[in-house]
Chains A and B, each alone.
Chain A
Amino acid sequence: MLPPKVRAVYIKELRDALRDRRVVLASVIVPLMIYPLMMLGMSEVLTATQTRMLKETYTVAVPRTMRPFFEHLMEDAKSGDNLDDVPGFGDSRDPLAAKAKMLREANKPEVPNAAPMKVHTIPLTFVEMDADEAGKKLATGEVKAVVDIPLTFEEDVEANKKVEVNVRIDAAEHRSVDAASRVQALMERYSKQALKNRLKAHNMDVKDLQPFAFVRTNVADAAKVGGSLLSFLPMMFIIMIITGAMYPAIDMTAGEKERSTLETLIVTPVRPIEIITGKFLAVATIASATAGLNVLSCGGSFLMMPIPMLNQAGIPWQVLPLALLLLIPLTFFFAALLLAVASFATNHKEAGIYCMPVFMIPIVGMVMVMMPDVELDGPLLFAPVVNVALMIKELFLRHATAEHVVFVFFSTCFYAAGAVALAARVFAREEVLFNAQGSVRLFLSRKFFKPSDRPRWGDAMLVAALLFPINFYFQLWLQKALLDFNDVKVPNFVLVVALPLYLLFLGMPIFIAWYLKLDLKKTFQWNAPPIRAVIGAILLGVSSFFIAQQLAVWQSWVWPTSSSGMEALEKPIHELSSTSWGLTVLIFLIGFSPALCEEHFFRGFLQQGLLQKSAKWRVLLLVGFIFGAFHVPLYRQPIVMLLGVVLAYMAYEAKSLWPGVIYHFMHNSSTFIWPALLGVKEEAPNPGEALPNLPLQWMVPAVLVFAVGLALIRAPRPKRDEISSADKMATAAGN
């Protein structure tokens, strides 16, 4: 349910956009029509090509006196023996023939009688001329190919001499290549016949040439083969989304400025965030509808249109809804990004220029990653936009894993939230709304920021969205630069763990808060905590390890553990935990550093920013969710999210960062302190195995201590009579 003013903007923008022929054209008609038109086009081109191949007669030059020989070959091809079982020259170099062959192989179960190409359907005309003259005519296109063949060819073959036949072509001319393929087909047939004759002369059979049979069996079903043929589709989907979002985004921002309607809108008692949210939702709706129509049109076209290659291969229908699901957050991303960018422009033309990079950069990225050998892994897993394109491609190819789908979906949601935050921030700036010259610089320059207590909602979300990929790529770079996974050195390990924490989760939020002229003390809640919250944090710190472990056990019943892929890092951890000095380093690294740094970002900058606009529990849950999302692998995330919510609740109730730091520090440290104290030899579970329950004598005290800790954290509420007397005083003061 949308707030009334947001709803009003949303409905109006949607109505306005749908009455605009340009929006209807770009967002509805083009996405619907592109596939039928493309299919028709492809069908026409294929038919025309095949017709040309079958009917068009090419002239080929041969040496003088050799014309009768080739005409004889033509006649023989029409009426001669079937020589399919005789080895030829190898794979045909004719691309169309190669495709037909691939499809015959791919679809053997469904289309066993797919017709092979017939040599006799290929018409050629042979003319005799000198080699030099033939070369000149080949260059002018009068002849399509020139066959250099010895005049004693037949005798030489009869005499078992080694003979070479050369076909000269103009590779820039498709017809010339075609003609060469036809000549090759004829010569191959002659070669087969000669081979058969030679074998016969030695009383041998064709089968004797093959000591064993080598058979290639295709196990891919028709839909998967179809998927491989359709791997270009993700790029089409994404291009259509951008096309669908671009015009409405420009019209709702730069268009409003151009028509001078923006002033009438912002003069109403509506906050900029409400206006931009309504506009964003309208653009996102249109872009989502574009995506939906595009996917629908794509499916419908493949169903209805006679593209033999695809219809024989099969369409992976089940992939299309999932592809659409992945495209929805991407529509949000582009809707917000285009709104933000177009807001800087003063008219449609200018906005079109500003938005061009938003259109072009993803396309260039997608073209690069859509190469056959590129897979969704490593850095590409979190690369905005291209990860969605690759994910859909993987879905078509049936390589996708659930973990990848979740990562791509949530990372795109993150980027979308960041783009929305950016749009909100841009739209709230009066120099952007009132077309100040150089508004981009004014928007970014610290000099023009007004001091404030805490970050805004948009700033918090934007920083979270930026930090997400930066953290990932920075860690990946550090690991690549510093870690040898076969032999992890302790100092390098320390750097790999500590640097992202201190630079990104502590340094970056403090720097941004300073840059935005925020009150650092209020933003990060650096004030002293109440003593009850400190005691509560300590109680939670000593007990939550057991609760988290038991939750992990329960989770493993329904979601078996899997490999983290970071087993190599266990070696330096074990190495460090074996000495008291190493244990101190480990406590600093895994206990203290994440507690100090992550609390500054998640419960400081992020939570304080989100609380500016959203209600308490919504924020606490969101902070917990985002906190969990930053912690890979996937199976760890649900429990980390819960811990994140507890930490967020603690920071909210204590009005101070420090209890959370204490709790976070104790929880992390207890992961290796408690097992040591209790004499438990910690062994990593085998992937796929369910974990054993924790003993009851550990769990009962842990739950009790945890509950007391939570109760202590909760800030004391004013009593009812205190509230009513305060109300009375306020009323009296008002009167």
Chain B
Amino acid sequence: MADPINANEPVPVPIPVAPDAALLPPAIEPIIHVQALRKIFHTHTGQEHVAVDRIDFHVARGEIYGLLGPNGAGKTTTLRILAGLMQPSGGDVIVDGISGAADPMALKERTGFLTANTGLYVRLTPRETLRYFGELRGIPRDALEGQINELITMLGLTAFADRRCEGMSTGERQRVQIARTLIGHPQILILDEPTNGLDVLTNRLILDFVKQASKRGHTIILSTHHLDEVEAICHRFGMMHKGVLLAEGTLAQLRVNTGKERLSDIFLEMVARVEGAPPPEVSAYDSGQARAVAMPDDIQGRFQ
């Protein structure tokens, strides 16, 4: 049965993806290279399930990259591999020239990880939590106390910094989570569905944090299935569906290529195209069909 959204429209050619770093503007230094990344899970009966299927993308230093897609698209698995939590079944993630497959600890040292669903140690105070994660990141004790105080002040945790996390409001908890993510000043922030299930105020808190972190020079990869709420904050988007990266580009580029305004409409358009026609093959990426994707002006300006 045809998708009702596209039932009467001609099937456009899928937007090619720009996986090749050489095609990026030379002044922009990619910090993350995701190369033919593949992750296969095995069910208990031994069957294979391909969660991520040979995806390629790059993220420039200081960029906010939105990895979008519905639940089950493979976003979380991709981000877990990027954060060094999982080993890829194929391909690699190169961060700052270091192979994540060979040295997952190097990835972990460079990344902070935040989701909306991660819990806190409820019997620890925010200060103890930050101290714990700071110690795990190997921050020297003197520097650690300074960083903790800085984060407590910056994120407005002072009032409850020495109160146990149990009984805190969702907003207070998310602030502690943000502080935990930032301890040790990781270069890269990986935010997996950071607003999922949060109320409006906490949602705003998170999105503001993303903007602020970008201004401070962090590279951010953000995954969400609430597509429209990240339209305004991401510099580029990658759209995932069923483990495959369907398309990649700036909002403007995606609009031009789909004729749709909103990200959610753009995504549905993409899905319709690939469901109607086979998804782009990896060989297509290698055969030069891939298209250069320009970086937003503000990002380009920062690095030129």
A261 and B135 contacting across the interface, CB-CB below 8 Å: no
CB-CB nearest in chain B for A20 = B123
Q: Which of A263-271, A386-394, A512-520, A624-632 contacts B (4 or more CB under 8 A)?
A: A263-271
The CA-CA distance from A259 to B121 in the complex, in Å, is 8
Give a binary string over A252-278; 1 marks a CB under 8 Å from any B CB, 0 the rest: 000000011101111111110000000
Residue interface mask A287-308, B partner, CB < 8 A = 1: 0000000000000000000000
Given contacts A19-B123, A438-B43, A447-B46, contact A263 B113 (CB under 8 A): yes
* Of A8-16, A193-201, A218-226, the one touching chain B: A8-16
Q: In the complex, are the beta carbons of A268 and B133 less than 8 A apart?
A: yes
- State which of B29-37, B103-111, B269-277 sits at the interface with chain A: B103-111
Does B41 sit at the interface, judged by CB under 8 A? Answer: yes
Instruction: Tell which of B44, B109, B119 touches A269, judged by Cβ atoms closer than 8 Å.
Output: B109
Q: Which of B109, B136, B164 has the most CB of A within 10 A?
A: B136
Query: Are B105 and A271 closer than 8 Å at their CB atoms?
Result: yes
User: Quick one: given A260-B117, A264-B118, are A269 and B128 in contact (CB under 8 Å)?
Assistant: no
Q: Which residues of A contact B136 (CB under 8 A)?
A: 5, 8-9, 265, 268-270
Residue B293, interface by CB 8 Å: no
Count the A-B residue pairs with Cβ separation under 8 angstroms: how many?
A: 89
Asked whether A4 lies within 8 Å of B135 as measured between CB atoms, the reply is yes
Given contacts A20-B123, A448-B42, contact A266 B85 (CB under 8 A): yes
Bound Cα distance A269, B187 (Å): 14
**Closest chain A residue to B124, Cβ basis:** A16
Query: How many residues of chain A get a CB closer than 8 Å to chain B's CBs?
Result: 35
Q: Tell me the complex Cα distance, A264–B111, Å.
A: 12
B209 within 8 A of A: no
Question: Would you give the 0/1 interface string for B129-140, flagging 1 where the beta carbon is closer than 8 Å to chain A?
Answer: 000110111100
In the complex, which residues 244-276 of chain B have their Cβ closer than 8 Å to any Cβ of chain A?
Answer: none
B180 within 8 Å of A by Cβ? yes
Query: Which residues of A are found within 8 Å of B84, using beta-carbon distances?
Result: 267, 269
Q: How far is it, in angstroms, between the C-alpha of A263 and the C-alpha of B119 when the chains are bound?
A: 9
Main secondary structure of the interface of B (DSSP, over half): loop
Q: Does B195 count as interface, using CB distance less than 8 angstroms?
A: no
- Are B121 and A261 interface neighbours, CB within 8 A? yes
Nearest A residue to B122, CB-CB? A259
Q: How far is the CA of A217 from the CA of B94 in the complex (A)?
A: 84
Interface size on B (CB < 8 Å)? Answer: 36
Contact A261 B119 (CB under 8 A): yes
Q: For the complex, is B87 an interface residue (Cβ under 8 Å from A)?
A: yes
**Of B118, B122, B132, the contact of A12 (CB 8 Å cutoff):** B132
Residues of chain A with a CB closer than 8 A to B87's CB:
430, 450
In this assembly, does A579 line the interface, its C-beta being within 8 Å of a C-beta of chain B? Answer: no
> Are B86 and A430 within 8 A (Cβ)?
yes
B186 to chain A, nearest CB (A): 10
Quick one: CB contact mask for B38-79 with A, threshold 8 Å, 1 for yes?
000111111000000000000000000000000000000000
A-contact bits for B151-187, CB 8 A (1 contact / 0 none): 0000000000000100000000000010010000000
Report if B292 contacts A (CB, 8 A).
Answer: no
- For residue A248, give the distance in angstroms from its CB to the closest CB of chain B: 12
Whether a CB of chain A sits under 8 angstroms from the CB of B198 is no
Set of chain A residues within 8 Å of B46, measured between Cβ atoms: 445, 447
Does B222 lie at the interface of the complex (its beta carbon under 8 Å from any beta carbon of A)?
Answer: no
B132 lies within 8 A of A260 (CB): no
B135 touches A8 (CB 8 A): yes
**Distance of A193 Cα from B84 Cα, bound (Å):** 93
In the complex, which residues 353-410 of chain A have their Cβ closer than 8 Å to any Cβ of chain B? none
A442: interface (CB < 8 Å):
yes
Chain A residues numbered 421-480 whose CB sits less than 8 Å from any CB in chain B = 430-431, 434, 436-439, 441-442, 445, 447-448, 450
Q: Is B120 an interface residue (CB 8 A)?
A: yes
Which residues from A are CB-within-8-Å of B177?
264
Top 6 nearest A-B pairs by Cβ distance? A438-B44, A8-B135, A259-B119, A269-B108, A260-B119, A268-B136
A sample of 21 cross-chain residue pairs with beta-carbon separation below 8 angstroms, ordered by A number, consists of A4-B138, A7-B135, A8-B135, A12-B132, A15-B123, A15-B124, A19-B164, A261-B120, A263-B85, A264-B180, A267-B113, A269-B84, A269-B105, A269-B108, A269-B138, A270-B136, A271-B105, A431-B41, A431-B42, A436-B44, A437-B43
